[in-house]
Amino acid sequence: MTLEERIIASKTSIFKAVFPNTTNHYDTLFGGTAMHMMDEVAFITATRFSRQIMVTVSSDRIDFKKAIPAGTIVELIGKVTQVGNTSLKVNVEIYIEQMYAEGRELAVHGDFTFVAIDENKKPTQVIK
């Protein structure tokens, strides 16, 4: 499989409903909860790409463009954007969908860096 084919095959999409137990006093999704969900999707994407043990080493930038209200559906999409020797970058976007209306909006996007590690927890070559 070529690098481009691996990137396409590893794209990950997860849908979640935003329930009140994940929201703050403004009735919108906690920022930390959004970051947690994004890191999880980024991890799954990185692992699907490499099929190796991957660990998060940084979240380079997370931009909150729009609040995510309770009672909506969110889609998280992870895509590998860069592959290095021992690391790779994953971009994650969160889109908001109203439960009972058409359309969707980009709410949050961010980049995460992962490193492949071996059984001794030392960085190892990313399988491309």
pLDDT score of 79 = 98
Query: Domains plus CATH for the chain?
Result: 3-116 (3.10.129.10)
The dihedral sign for the CA sequence 103, 65, 91, 115: negative
**Residue range 69-81, pLDDT digits in tens:** 999 999 999 999 9
* Average pLDDT score over residue span 101-122: 97
Q: Which residues contact 61 (CB under 8 A, 6 or more apart)?
A: 110, 111
What CA–CA distance (Å, rounded) separates 110 from 127? 24
pTM exceeding the 0.85 threshold for the entire prediction = yes
What CA–CA distance (Å, rounded) separates 87 from 103? 35
In the sheet that 72-83 helps form, which strands lie side by side, from edge to edge?
A: 12-17, 72-83, 87-98, 105-117, 53-64
